Structure 1
């Protein structure tokens, strides 16, 4: 996997710059490093991995409910009760990014890497995964601190390390659902942002071996949205809604897809449906980060302008 980043031409290409910026910044807001090893482990039917109750509750608050204040409450408890669980620090880094708190993003990125390293003796699969995620997060720190022009070379070095440790995890258990969720998301980012990459293999990886299903569906919907394949994106976002209907971020994603589809097809009806989904997301704005709420409101106003112009 690391060979894909070794060519100097790639480092110099505008597409790779776009990928690095997207992968180390935008992907954080989408929480693509999510670790599925929960107490009761809904990702593995056999040999589940246990983590703390507070961490599990925080995970569900973010990814099933889209409720960030509740998640932060559980994470604060997890910091004291479950300090050796790297998922705690990965999710804290996610919240720090959403709040544009770069100092905390740096701190929790380092803690994710450190706790992943400590996990190697007892759980080498998850340990290697979290080392990869820690390097991914630290790449995001570089991009936010140095900017795209100065930060990309350092971020690409981190990206090579991400895939190095993902490959080590794959050598332990190639069909592990946790591994395939993380690696599938990474490969989709490549497919969307680099001209020589195809999303088909990443989508197959997610559908065949990754879990949970609602994060698989959400990731594929995001990829198809960015690839401008809107009917496929709608299919997968509707699947995600069936299993996470309380999460306002899913309706925001559906609204984005419908808005772009309506604009492409010049369909007033589709744009109206997009506005309705923006509104549905905003009914729970109190549980979303403030900057995300402002972004949803801006995109809703844009959709209204499109409707009025038509």
Structure 2
């Protein structure tokens, strides 16, 4: 369970306190932008913003890496920059990088907590989660559990500052979603409500809701929300891949060749930007791409050329 939480929550945690001018349509133009809040917006550096844009909106890991390196050099007081570098190190199986940038995230977040208790404590939670990911990989799950306890501790402290804060609810929504998948007698409904009502930016909230409905096997609802996300980030190969996954699951359940062919179309779209994606994503994409072609043939359909 901890490993699955680490893989997804690490990435989503980094979405906290992010700014995307393109998504805010010029709101708060005097700052770097804040897609979460209409009041009391936070400001981050341009390089950090660019790294987030490439990683989460464009799905371009290589460009995100370059901007994240620049961000930690020119914007050393922004914890999101270090958190992104830690996450990218994890994706690249660089355990020492994960360890070092997780520690930097914690250090910078602790300093920030005096002037901004919500963001500071939120990033302390992120930093300890990243550190827990390193310990899980090097020492095992039992040793990582104390870090997970710290994650909940700092999230609770942040929630006391403002329980309705959009970035806080984005992070907690994804955490609740993953817990509901891994724990018995737990439902993702609370995560769905939190993400739909309070979380932002929209495309990340919609993505989370789509994941929840996918796990509930309510594929029509999952498609509704993933397509909402794609309207805001139409060129993101990861979202194209996720759309293909949902269509494939729906097609297999209903033995519907048309859905399977649409899934293949979305996989092919994602492949057009394979140079942006890390190997861990490409490995899964290649496997599912092969499988869906077999499934189309087994149902008597003709596999279209990419």
2:160 corresponding residue in structure 1? 171
- State TM-score, norm by structure 1: 0.89
- The structure 2 residue matched to 1:77, chosen from 70, 78, 99, is 70
CA contact (8 A) 2:244 2:262 kept: yes
Greater RCO, 1 or 2 (C-alpha within 8 Å, sep 6+) = 1
Offset of 1:250 from its aligned partner?
0.5
Deviations 1:199-232 (A, max 9, x none): 1122111111111010000111122223322222
- State TM-score, norm by structure 2: 0.90
Offset of 1:157 from its aligned partner?
2.1
1:36 corresponding residue in structure 2? 17
Deviations 1:88-138 (A, max 9, x none): 111111211221112211111111111111111111110000000111111
Structure 1 runs not aligned, ≥5 long: 1-18
Structure 2 runs not aligned, ≥5 long: 20-31, 300-306
CA contact (8 A) 1:192 1:227 kept: no
Alpha-carbon distance in 2 for matches of 1:139, 1:102: 12
How many residues end up aligned between the 2 structures?
287
Q: How does 1:111-150 map to 2 (within 5 A)?
A: 111-146=104-139
Alpha-carbon distance in 2 for matches of 1:258, 1:63: 22
Alpha-carbon distance in 2 for matches of 1:225, 1:156: 28
CA contact (8 A) 2:192 2:212 kept: no
Q: How does 1:199-238 map to 2 (within 5 A)?
A: 199-238=188-227
Q: How does 1:1-310 map to 2 (within 5 A)?
A: 19-28=1-10, 30-38=11-19, 39-146=32-139, 151-310=140-299
How big is the alpha-carbon RMSD for the aligned residues of Structure 1 and Structure 2? 1.4
- Moved segments of 4+, more than 4 Å: none
Deviations 1:62-88 (A, max 9, x none): 111111121112111111100111101
